[in-house]
Amino acid sequence: MESLESRIGYSFKNKGLLRDALTHSSYYNENRSASHESNERLEFLGDAVLGLIVGEYLFRRFPQLPEGRLTRLRAELVCEKSLDGVAKLIGMGEHLLLGRGEASSGGRTRPSINADAVEALIAAMYLDGGFEEAVKFIRRFILCPFEAGEGVRDRDAKSELQELVQKKSGQFLEYILVGESGPDHMKEFTVEVRLNGEALARAAGHSKKDAEQHAALSALEKLR
């Protein structure tokens, strides 16, 4: 467990919480006399904590996006695939307590088990160290990687918007810089995306490219 703690950058005061987070129901059912629980209840709490932190991050990070787009981004960040990726990164599988049958059938690499354990781990950190410790973990392993890959996501959005308007002949897109504000080290640019000369959407960003990307996301929501 010390190895897992070093990987996540947090040392539990209550080691029992960490053990519970790593205990799959199959192990608990085979060891009813054990003085700990399965991670199912922690998973429930962790799901709520994760959803709140990611939801607030997206709400503040993308003030121009409508509710539907925010919901889809949150779902992408907290989905099984995303959490399984976190589990692989921190080596969660090797620390799980599994029943004999689950362990022998490949449970340590099963995405659903690993994703549930990550949610349980988030809850355990929240209960042991408070909200800020949960925020640190989620920021490090989920939000920072998202930020690093955000340009790819947004380029895809611009491409998707371009493909959408090209379905009808004679249509063209252009991105127009309509405003700048703030000091040089904290500039904010406002860009308007226009379809055949008519304003389609407007968004801001800390670079022209960023603003264009955000405007494309907003435009996609309007056209769908």
Residues forming a β-bridge with 195: 173, 198
Burial class (CB in 10 A: 0-12, 13-18, 19+), 144: exposed
Answer whether 89's CB lies under 8 Å from 114's CB.
no
- What 134-139 contacts at long range (C-beta under 8 Å, 24+ apart), as own/partner pairs, is 134/49, 134/53, 135/53, 136/9, 136/10, 137/8, 137/9, 137/10, 138/50, 138/53, 138/54, 139/57
Residue of 84, 119, 128, 212 marked catalytic: 119
Answer whether 24's CB lies under 8 Å from 107's CB.
yes
Output the furthest CA–CA distance in the chain (Å, rounded). Answer: 73
Contacts of 74 (CB under 8 A, 6+ apart): 51, 54, 55, 58
Catalytic, 47? Answer yes
Residue of 47, 133, 154, 212 marked catalytic: 47
Catalytic residues: 47, 119
